[in-house]
Structure 1
């Protein structure tokens, strides 16, 4: 190789080495930058997991307008711990539930749940105001606030039972509405609250509250009310049914047999079977014990005496009684 060619080869080799070094440096910088971005992403995710927030499509925005990805943790009742400062938690309820900061609202609702579980006597005097604020949270369009409020309703019902009866109406209608909507996780929470209501509130007090919703214009609300009505009646017991009026209960159930939604019709059938069982049991008792409960000799005769021919036929079909010809011929 000539001396000139050798010099050109050395110059070219040195240039290639520089380019290679530059490319490696750029590659290393890119890797470092990507690593930093990944680390920051992990840090953001870690931070988000520590902050109670929302799921199910609700995306809070940060101060700069950036959409957040926070997810709220819904705490089951058995996992709630006691509040550290009862007085401070009690004093913060009103401001917390009226706040525009939804995270603060959720945190305050969880404190209300803790107080209901561990110190229910301290909130009894403010039950009316508390229900008003709770209903406001139930109406909140943000689903995290709504579900936490429903869970709060369940704990309050479990804690106070019949003591809530004078304030129950606005809470009842919201729970029926939430149980009737399409958002599954909200609907399931509302169903659980309604089960608590029919379990822990005396049926003699609850049934009159449910009665108007059996005729509501919204068929879904009618259906949920029918289910609650059906679930509450057995808690009356035989004496309670006698006091309430089995004729009224049969008439109510009969009116639901022709309702629009299958859920309502099925609840009516279940209730009628329960009433039929109660009626037949009453016939096995001493006559002196049942004189005020049933005057007819059979379930079929009793239904015919209390209902129109068509309604009586529907009830007897629903309860498996075979006297259709007698009903149609009356």
Structure 2
């Protein structure tokens, strides 16, 4: 019980002791009523502790002076409406994102989404500043701000595509981190944002940005980066894969086959099967190994892998692709 509540509690007990006095019965009754009301109010305030709100990913709500996330609505992109005044919304963006009022930050993030989807040209000149503050929102310990920021990232990828490439690194780092954490509703939103990134940013520009994270010390970050890498490579197309360097891509995928987490290994297997298909459709592919003895520039898939990889990695890659081929033959 708080100090103030204890004070009113003692007042109430003192009043009860005096209630038998016939001279001032009415005054005593009023005193008891007032003390009781104050005690109840004080106890109600002191018991309004921070409690989890399971409907919003265990976001904390405070009954005393803090508005809970029940007032935050996570609006899907297709349900966003246009801003009433684009110029006014644009002028308020930077100040709103820098605010210490988290509700205002969330409102501003939603306006950034609207501007990106409906008026992307007007915000283009300030995209770098917006992304800097967006990264700050992703680091916010309050989940409502973080998730709204993640949803904003997805819409920005959709709107600005390759125009983000020079500002992409800090944003991508945070999304990989958020997709790797244990808070489910934040993690799922970050996964969607990473899918948007691989869908709307050109793979030729994105793959060099992703590659360093395939060797990150955090296995979860490696796994998420591997999944992004695997999704992005097929978007290059057959000619794009050969232009990027199929041998380099095979080496990258082979290194992920022995990774700690199954997500990394599965992404590597999927990528290797894609690369095998592309290679076997190329004019360099020759089924007969005897031909490759006379024409060193041509090679079967097996010989190609053995020439580009260490013996151990080549064995692992061929095991994956041969098993997939055998499964395909047996099912047909």
Query: TM-score, length-normalised on structure 1?
Result: 0.76
> Aligned pair in 2 of structure 1 residues 69, 231: CA closer, same or farther (>3 Å)?
closer
Alignment match, 2:60: 59
Alignment match, 1:217: 217
Where does structure 1 differ by over 6 angstroms across 4 or more consecutive aligned residues? Answer: none
Alignment match, 2:73: 73
Alignment match, 2:103: 103
> Which SS does the other structure have where 1:59 is aligned?
strand
| Bigger radius of gyration among the two | 1
Superimposed CA distance per residue, residues 59-102 of structure 1 (whole angstroms, 9 cap, x where no aligned partner): 3446x547757342100111111101111100111111111111
> Which SS does the other structure have where 1:320 is aligned?
helix
> Which SS does the other structure have where 2:60 is aligned?
coil
Find the aligned partners of 2:95 and 2:66 in 1 and give their Cα distance. Answer: 27
Superimposed CA distance per residue, residues 116-175 of structure 1 (whole angstroms, 9 cap, x where no aligned partner): 010000111111111000000000111111010000000000000000000000000001
How many Å apart are 1:239 and its aligned residue?
1.1
Alignment match, 2:282: 282
Find the aligned partners of 1:56 and 1:253 in 2 and give their Cα distance. Answer: 35
Find the aligned partners of 2:104 and 2:67 in 1 and give their Cα distance. Answer: 19
Give the number of equivalent residue pairs. Answer: 261
Find the aligned partners of 1:68 and 1:280 in 2 and give their Cα distance. Answer: 57
> Aligned pair in 2 of structure 1 residues 237, 69: CA closer, same or farther (>3 Å)?
closer
Alignment match, 2:299: 297
Gaps of 5+ in 2: 1-54, 287-295, 325-332
Alignment match, 1:161: 161
Alignment match, 1:113: 113
Contact in 1 for aligned 2:285/2:301 (Cα 8 Å):
no
How many Å apart are 1:210 and its aligned residue?
0.1
Find the aligned partners of 1:316 and 1:224 in 2 and give their Cα distance. Answer: 24
**Superposition CA RMSD, Å:** 2.0
Query: TM-score, length-normalised on structure 2?
Result: 0.75
Find the aligned partners of 2:62 and 2:252 in 1 and give their Cα distance. Answer: 49
> Aligned pair in 2 of structure 1 residues 274, 71: CA closer, same or farther (>3 Å)?
same
